[in-house]
A and B are shown apart, each in its own frame.
Chain A
């Protein structure tokens, strides 16, 4: 398969599967259960088929550099960043789809779920490949719209509705800000192509700075930069667990990638972009960790910890954007991938416990911290998976989270700047703080006296355990041999550096 066609297929496959799955689901809804199952399998098979074009595109990108494809005036170009994002999306999408087979079984509106999930994946792949600002915005908006619907999926749950509408309004305000930024750039340059813009950027003057500020704040809403993060804990805790994993694992990171693309264009207008990213990184770490410290709901705690994890990525990217160090970007992207695996694993494990303890008995209770007591006895695999995910998030070796944090910190030290050294030390202290809420959860799961909920819990299906095992392998194996991901992170880092003009 030639890479250009493969790129096209990568976007078409998931987006095309979406209406097919929906229609099969709708048509068969009242007739036979047997046919309805087809909707699930359409989605699963399509997401798995996406691996094939991903392989061909990936090989071409790694060996020969960016692959581009032209439709009319729109150019889609897959570079290192796009590849990393797409690979993460497809991997997580596949695992979440498998997980959902039993998690979402017989929920009301299941066909919508299977229509929206591949659409979300397709939109994010498109976002990674966009090469002009407006196109970037369109994919971004498409991703946002699909995720609104998925967050508010349990539409008879008041909490889900509330989270959905709040998320929608905040995210939409963010994308309006981005639109204003784009129109300013369009005014100054008359073009929106990222490559052409980069050379013209130095002549933008103060309006260029304004556009950058709009991008930072606008995409920042989606990337959950403090203080524009307030939609995140609600949305993550109210969405179905598979969607929480997608939101936390790739959607907010896709916002981050969009922001980096847009800011990279403006790198010539100011030297402060990197410093601003660092500033937001610090804010995210502190606020995320402190907010998570006293949470009583597991999924809400995990949601806040996503803030802190985004903070680490921001620091890696910020160091790269200011100093041009490839370790920062590589570390940031490595952490992006690891975070998708670790946080995805944590959300899926929490989700399978929710399913076993509550959902399977028709209850929509949130999973409280106390419910984890003694979970290891009845659910050894799930408890082990959740423990590993939590400890990896806390940055303990030999797990993958440690490795990517190390790479980010190393980049900070490589600048030889005293301020950044202190920032790295501060980030390290934040990791210690985060253990203050991760570790007690692990302790709870290994108690001998199980909680009431665990005593009455139902068993966990194989299709839920399978994705957890896969992610567990990623978290552990990358912890032992971190350089296995550098084929993916190194091109992404060089794309980012090129984007920022280094």
Chain B
């Protein structure tokens, strides 16, 4: 076994081993559980970091299983190692954060075991080269996400949120299932690289089903249009879970899937346009929803959907590199925002921003890091969010229609607006209550500071990052540029300045919100519609109600009366005879 294989084994195996141990330690020993969880997640993070220099497109692990399951292969290519590193590093920070956040909670074993199980599965999802395993890990992440969203099982909202997330992501998962099965049926292999290489061999209609099946799967997993409704409801989860699973890692799996298979599908008629449209609609609709929400975590959730929309849009526009770079930046600053929001919620005891206000003085550290994250989210230079967002807009300029680019730039302005609204309502303004909020605990700070530093400087690695992707992804045709080239290009591009102008407008709109009443009055209607999530909740509810009603009505068929039961048997017989005699 070579060195890379060892690292891959550790990245996936360590968290799973840790999950078992934490479970085994039992809820009677919380200190041991905290320690074990931190140890194993950090160790996995180290293993993932060691894996980055080993990136290559060669298969590192190959376990022959055969039959209906293919060979279990793992490849440490650029996409894989960097996403695995994000999953494990952000994962370990979230676990460290939990030491303070979950102190004194019951059922810690279930909490940590599920988080560690998730980390391992997420790393497996991005490192494997086998479509069957991708689907398997995909489903495991859905399972753990559901278990953690409804961690507070006594709260009906948490259970409902978990169920919703599970059902919607599983619905999308059927698209991935169909795609993986078709790929095997026509190519005789589950290998991702085989699919990328031989995509043209497939009949056009089959490739179309494959491409759109994957798009549905990705949209459901990344909470994109029209499946965007589950992510805000998933905010019932403990906040470290929201930061890890519903901001930094699992929701990226959809974008990862699109990026991974982009070379195979780019030629499918209408696919790229559909991807861009999905991304654009998610971005703009969620940004507007973020503008009108009052729940701090929901604002962040909407903004996650919106930022994921940017990434999806970028993939559709052909900017795989831009989308992955934004994914990288977003994971860092959104995890930072969520964790610091967690610290705020932990201290203030509420998630409603209207009851916060003026917390900045009491929590200076949290305010500082939150503002850094917020500025990155808004896309202000020189934070990491600025560079990656500009890269996406540039990709949109070359790869997509102008009106979509216009919408995306407009969304950048809205993003700035809701970000400042959020920062203002939480940390500035008049204190709504006279409660004393304490600053973050030690473990919370340990988790927050590295993320804040990352937000400030992570864009500096754009050069090596590009080279890693270029060298290890033979089918994607990514061309790496050095940091200087990219910076120069961005600074020279007119779209950058337009975007910055719009962002400034968004900022100004918040500062001048009182004077703008004339404009904002008509927007109240929009706010109402957006609070009901543009009617998508309504559709969800109707579908659920219809299914439940159908099930209830069908129950009348179980009459319990023997004559009806016997009639059913006779009918079965005659139906079968009828079908046979019709001569099939």
Contacts and interface: CB of A to CB of B under 8 A. Distances in A.
| A adjacent to B, CB under 8 Å | yes
Interface of A: 166, 169-170, 173-174, 177, 206, 209-210, 212-214, 216-217, 220-221, 225, 227-228, 230-231, 233-234, 270-272, 275-276, 279, 287, 290-291, 293-294, 327, 330-331, 391, 396-398, 402-403, 406-407, 409-416, 421, 424-425, 428-429, 431-433, 435-436, 439-440, 443-444, 446-449, 482-483, 486
B569 interface: yes
A225 B584 contact: no
Contact of B551 (A214, A291, A416): A291
A276 B140 CA distance: 34
Interface in B170-214: 170-171, 173-174, 177-178, 181-182, 184-186, 209
A409 B171 contact: no
Contact of A217 (B69, B110, B569): B569
A183 to B, nearest CB: 15
Interface string B64-100: 0111110000000000000000000000000000000
Contact of B566 (A173, A213, A486): A173
B493 to A, nearest CB: 44
Q: Return the 5 tightest CB-CB contacts between A and B, nearest first.
A: A413-B181, A217-B573, A272-B584, A428-B174, A293-B551
B139 interface: yes
Nearest to A293: B551
B163 A440 contact: yes
B461 interface: no
B519 interface: no
Nearest to A405: B177
Given A177-B573, A291-B554, A414-B184, A230 B565 contact: yes
Contacts of A227: 557, 568, 571-572
Interface of B: 65-69, 106-107, 110, 132, 135-137, 139-140, 142-143, 146, 150, 153-154, 159, 162-163, 166-167, 170-171, 173-174, 177-178, 181-182, 184-186, 209, 547-548, 550-552, 554-555, 557-560, 562, 564-566, 568-569, 571-573, 576-577, 579-581, 584
Contacts of B135: 406
A391 B508 CA distance: 51
Contacts of B136: 397-398, 402
A421 B170 CA distance: 18
21 contacts: A177-B569, A212-B576, A217-B569, A217-B573, A217-B576, A220-B572, A227-B557, A270-B580, A272-B580, A276-B576, A397-B137, A402-B139, A409-B181, A413-B178, A421-B182, A425-B177, A432-B167, A435-B167, A446-B153, A448-B107, A448-B154
B132 A447 contact: no
Contacts of A331: 68
Contacts of B110: 446
Contacts, number: 178
Which of B66, B555, B571 has the most C-beta atoms of chain A within 10 angstroms of its own C-beta?
Answer: B555
B107 A290 contact: no
A456 B513 CA distance: 60
A213 B573 contact: yes
A432 B576 CA distance: 29
Q: Classify the secondary structure of B's interface with A.
A: helix
A431 B137 CA distance: 17
A398 B121 CA distance: 10
Nearest to B186: A416
Given A213-B580, A231-B565, A435-B167, A440 B159 contact: yes
A110 to B, nearest CB: 30
B551 A424 contact: no
B178 A424 contact: yes
Contacts of A406: 68-69, 132, 135
B154 A447 contact: yes
Given A425-B178, A435-B167, 6 more contacts: A227-B557, A412-B181, A414-B184, A415-B185, A421-B182, A448-B154
B181 A290 contact: no
